[in-house]
A and B are shown apart, each in its own frame.
Chain A
Amino acid sequence: MDAIILQILNGLDKGSAYALIALGLTLIFGTLGVVNFAHGALFMIGAFCAVTLNRILTLSHQVVDESRKDFLGNPLKVDVPYVNDWFGEAAGATIIDWSVPLAILFSIPVMIAIGVIMERGLIKHFYRRPHADQILVTFGLAIVLQEIIKYFYGANPIPTPAPDVFRGSFDFGVLLGFDPNVIIYPYWRLVYFAFAALIVGAVFAFLQFTTFGMVVRAGMADRETVGLLGINIDRRFTIMFGLAAAVAGLAGVMYAPINSPNYHMGMDFLVLSFVVVVVGGMGSLPGAVLAGFVLGVLESFASMNEIKSILPGIDQIIIYLVAIIILLTRPRGLMGRKGVMED
């Protein structure tokens, strides 16, 4: 039982990342009709926003410590962050320690700007081109973006820890009546799940309860009619692209402490997220979120030793297997709308 609960928690955690990326993908597809293969790269850039802010906060000047030697035997140059000079050592250390949560604020304008530039600068030229062209150009863009990141940050993962207060694990089992230390789960992964739920809720609320959101939903349903009413739907859709980029970026920022960011991390999520979108139903926001969590949980269960002893390798194909079954039995996906990607 404890193993099952642990895998459900794992699944919800993985599903959080899938759902956030798939949500952004669906927003872009639903509004602009573009299949954006660069969306994984936006997730990766979000993680590197956390790395960048950490580097900015740890910008240092060097102080020579004559009592210590470097690897060549010269007096050691010790890096002293400027924030320590400005705010004192304790406050400076706290600011650096909280660099990942602070990166949420840093990343929102950066990611919106990147999203808008991407849309206006490149993707808008492919609206009337076939989906294959859109996939090729956005995939190419993803490769360019990851090579740029690799040029500046290198190929190796960069540790980006969560604040000290979130290190360690929460004893979930005690809450459920188990013995201590039987079901423990990292604090930060719980934070990630709660954060994902908050972002998903915020996006839905924005679309549901604001005038802007109402117009966007109307545009998603019938772009032409909304345009005939004199509303500049293109401008709103551009903003939605920026918003989708911000959602992917935020997912990346908060993911940085879970796995050290590297330039390739976006590609690792991209294909899975597309499967999530297809299973959820192309263009369906609730479908993307539901499928993200369902597939995350199924993937976790499939990696249990008991399951793998019966079906070796099932953990590697479970998501694709489910996608095949869903598409055979319900081609529109779990919550797909009629007419989307059916012509």
Chain B
Amino acid sequence: MSKSTLTRRGVLRTGAVAGAGVALPTIFTSSAASAFTNEPTGGSVTLGFNVPQTGPYADEGADELRAFELAVEHLNGGGDGGMMNTFSSKTLDGTGILGKKVEYVTGDTQTKSDAARASAKSMIEKDGAVMISGGSSSGVAVAVQGLCQEAGVIFMAGLTHSNDTTGKDKKANGFRHFFNAYMSAAALAPVLEKMYGKDRKAYHLTADYTWGWTQQESIQAATEAMGWETVNNVLTPLAQTDFSSYIAPVLNSGADVLVLNHYGGNMVNSLTNAVQFGLRDKQVNGKNFEIVVPLYSRLMARGAGENVKGIFGSTNWHWSLQDEGSKAFVQSFGTKYGFPPSQAAHTCYVQTLLYADAVQRAGSFNPCEVGAALEGFEFDGLGNGPTLYRADDHQCFKDVLVVRGKENPESEFDLLEVVEVTPRAQVEYAPDHPMFSGGNLGSCNPGA
């Protein structure tokens, strides 16, 4: 029988030494060898595309994903290059980003903030994503932007229209190409004045969440500034499907305009209900009753069918634009998928190219250097005319489209017609504008 020499103190001492030995390389890796979160070390770099693949915005998410795939294909030298050929910056040459092949992982936001954060976290921590993009909801975008700030990766927002995304909830690691509620209102109001006059009484139905509130606040301020009176603003639950109870009080409210601050399924149902109740055939105060939808989405407008005809709204981009960038993108996307891209697809594609270009110009994937390259960046050729990524709040400033539901569509995609391209100067605002105040960009976080 042999006698054991093991003692409790001996085991603890040995364990501590062994533990320190195992931990040592990790400590070096995380603080010294890597300067920022998920620094690409091999021949490829991973991007994370976080879109709604299930839930009510799944179709929009699918279109965003198509655009991301197309952008990656173009960055890696595949296809016809799309907007890379028209982009004013010429750093992208089809050899990936900084010579690294672009790979991507996808996540499902389910249009829920918690699920979106969880999938973004997984892509950052498990898949090593160095940038996160996507989204079809402002609530989700704000939540994921906050996560990316904490994790030390860049967030290139997809479709998010609330003022808060680059207002009170802005973050140094977050960047938005899409326009916002203030811009929609600033572009739309002059057209509404021209079409419907200065003496109007507006009744607002507003989706009861961050986007609805900022959209309503913006359009109310813009229309009141031109002389309209706001009769009432009624908040409607996001889960509402039948709006008849909310439409009925409009009939005899004295209002002659109904503003639907609704998006997605809410917009489809409220607009359909309003038309069913004969609002568009009504005469009030000696004028035709009118309906306005401040934010249009072609994918969603399809759900409302003929009810969108003649109704004004705004959009970030439309496939019928005839500038070289838009034509190149529509050609590329349409050839690959057989139908034109949506505005959600456009902004996601552009954001991917802008990120790749910023990395090329910075010469690094370090989010602080990428952010610095994006701040104050002026570019053109990506479908919205000359555009500025403002350094103060990381919001893009560009032309905004005022659109109207087309009376005689020639195809299932031909639902909206561009009425006016509102110049960028008309939708600009000061960084400390009251509708965007209360937040702090903070400083960039490289993570690691």
Contact = CB atoms under 8 A, between A and B. Distances in A.
A161 interface: yes
Interface string A286-317: 00000000000001100111001000000110
A300 B305 contact: no
Contacts of B59: 154-156
B258 interface: no
Interface stretch (A19-27, A81-89, A182-190, A275-283): A182-190
Contact of B335 (A72, A150, A184): A72
Interface string A260-286: 101011001000000000000000000
B331 A72 contact: yes
B230 to A, nearest CB: 14
A13 B248 CA distance: 13
Nearest to B412: A79
Interface in B287-314: 299-300, 302-307
A315 B245 contact: yes
B269 A259 contact: yes
Given A186-B278, A258-B242, A262-B265, A3 B302 contact: no
A189 B302 contact: no
Contact of B246 (A158, A181, A303): A303
Contacts of A14: 242, 244-245
Interface stretch (B157-165, B231-239, B397-405): B231-239
Interface string B238-268: 0101101110110110000000000001001
Contacts of A300: 244-245, 248
A264 B54 CA distance: 11
A258 to B, nearest CB: 7
B330 A72 contact: yes
B248 A7 contact: yes
A7 B242 CA distance: 13
A60 B221 CA distance: 48
A260 B272 contact: yes
Given A150-B58, A259-B269, A305-B234, A161 B252 contact: no
A75 interface: no
B83 to A, nearest CB: 16
Contact of B303 (A2, A76, A260): A260
A264 B272 CA distance: 17
Contacts of B241: 259, 265, 268
A157 B330 contact: no
Given A154-B59, A155-B57, A159-B304, A184 B278 contact: yes
Interface in A238-271: 258-260, 262, 264-265, 268
Nearest to A160: B305
A181 B232 CA distance: 21
Interface string B37-59: 00000000000000000111111
Contacts of B414: 71
Nearest to A158: B303
Interface of A: 2-3, 6-7, 10, 13-14, 68, 70-72, 76, 150, 154-159, 161, 168-169, 181-186, 188-189, 258-260, 262, 264-265, 268, 299-300, 303-305, 308, 315-316
18 contacts: A70-B411, A71-B330, A72-B330, A76-B411, A155-B58, A156-B59, A156-B302, A161-B305, A168-B281, A169-B278, A182-B252, A184-B277, A186-B278, A300-B244, A300-B248, A304-B245, A305-B234, A308-B234
Given A159-B305, A308-B234, 13 more contacts: A68-B410, A70-B411, A72-B331, A155-B56, A156-B303, A159-B303, A169-B281, A182-B251, A258-B273, A268-B239, A268-B241, A305-B232, A316-B237
